[in-house]
Structure 1
Amino acid sequence: MSPDYGNDVILLERLKAHDLQAFNYLYNNNRKWLYVLALSIVKDECEAQDLVQDLFIDFWQQSLYKQVTTSIKGYLSNSIKNRAFNFIRNEGVRKRRENNIPLPKEFILPTYHLENAELKKELTAAMDDLSPAAAKVFNLAYLEHRSYHEIAADLAISRNTVMNHMVKALKTLRTRLKKWESL
């Protein structure tokens, strides 16, 4: 007979015993309503999914279940609300900072043009080494100046996936373009 995970006391005991089946029960029975709750706050499907996923990862890996003193649903509800409000606050701060950077009208960001034909040729060759997905994400981020958030929405992937593609792309490009480091 399997344990009754519907009881918070038993579920917490099983989680503290590192019972993966108990965690799976918790995840499968709570992720949808937590997603809806996060979505109602952040108004972005990808971000809401990421917030819920990150909550469950932290809940398990950092043993956050040890902090639960009342109901698990109450703890999860408060946690996802806090994460969603933190996301909104941090996003607002980032946008205000971007808007407050004074640039002269004639200023052209160095990434907008490549004056050195040889470097451009090397960059094109290095881009060919990237996977199609990583190349697409890199182009959207650096050549079209799109945010990770916008890229995730356009490609219907999570922001974490966008970040993973960028990490791989930048690592490959840094390796290939190492001789241009002094520029």
Structure 2
Amino acid sequence: MDEKRLIKWLRQGKADAYRYLFTEYYDWLCNYVFKLCQDRSLSEDIVQDALVNLWNKREGLVISASLRNYLFKTCHNQFLQHVRSQKVEFDTLDKIRWDVISEATLEDNLFDFRMEKLHHLIDQLPPRCKEIFIQNKLEKKKYKEIAIDMGISIKTVENQMSKALQFLRANATSFML
């Protein structure tokens, strides 16, 4: 299929064009991302997210080079975004003796164990407390933004964050030391 026509049909929201795009490029893009991350499941997730984002932004789609190059760059950027989000995730608990985890001398399996335990602790937070913690630490939202999004006061956000950090500090010391 002609790329210009395909792009035009994508902008128009034609599902057949999207199916064709998916069929033609999905495996190729997955293989490319797999070479970057060495994780088949992650590569498929990244490519799927990139293609879904393309579909969601289809009306304003501007492709100056080839469609293949555009998809390549989109998946590459999606991968970089994932890497950045992992860095954010690793930086989330810097107040909870995070320096211990980030030491280069830690073995990978110990690091994985600690991260698993940390995620388990975060999952134990009460729902609202967990949501506020994730928005602040992982999504990097300010207290004011969280308060507006959730329709609560900034003071409530502060209190919930304080509770979350106290809980995590108290329970993380057993495996962080």
> What is the TM-score with the length of structure 1 in the denominator?
0.50
Distance in 2 (CA, whole Å) between partners of 1:97 and 1:8 is: 43
CA distance in structure 1 between the aligned counterparts of 2:83 and 2:59, rounded to whole angstroms = 23
1:98 deviation in Å?
Answer: 4.0
Partner of 2:62: 67
Instruction: Identify unmatched segments of 5+ residues in structure 2.
Output: 99-115, 128-177
CA drift at 1:93: 3.5
Q: Is the 8 A contact 2:11 2:59 kept in 1?
A: no
Distance 1:37 1:98, change over 3 A: farther
For 2:60 and 2:46, the matched residues in 1 are separated by 17
Structure 2 contact 33–75 (Cα < 8 Å) conserved? yes
Residues 16 and 66 in structure 1, CA contact (< 8 A), matched pair in contact too: yes
Correspondence for 1:81: 76
Identity %: 20
How far has the Cα of 1:17 moved from its partner? Answer: 2.1
Verify: 1:28 aligned to 2:27, yes or no: no
CA distance in 1, matches of 2:7, 2:81: 27
Moved >6 Å (runs of 4+): none
Shift of 1:53: 0.7
Residue matched to 2:32: 37
Q: What is the alpha-carbon root mean square deviation over aligned residues? A: 3.6
Tell me by how many angstroms 1:43 deviates: 2.2
1:76-105 C-alpha deviation (Å, 9 max, x unpaired): 0001011112212321342244466228xx
The 2-side partners of 1:10 and 1:78 are apart by: 20
> Rg: which structure is higher?
1
Larger deviation: 22-31 or 57-66?
Answer: 57-66
Q: What is the SS of the residue equivalent to 1:70?
A: coil
More helix per residue: 1 or 2? 2
Alpha-carbon spacing, 1:92–1:37, altered in 2? closer, same or farther (3 Å):
same
State the Cα distance separating 1:41 from its structure 2 match: 1.2
Q: How many residues align?
A: 112
Letter in 2 for 1:80: C
CA contact (8 A) 1:14 1:22 kept: yes
Normalising by structure 2, report the TM-score: 0.52
Q: Hey, what's the Cα distance between the residues in 2 that align with 1:70 and 1:22?
A: 18
Choose the corresponding residue for 2:117, options 123, 134, 145. 145
SS at match of 2:61: helix
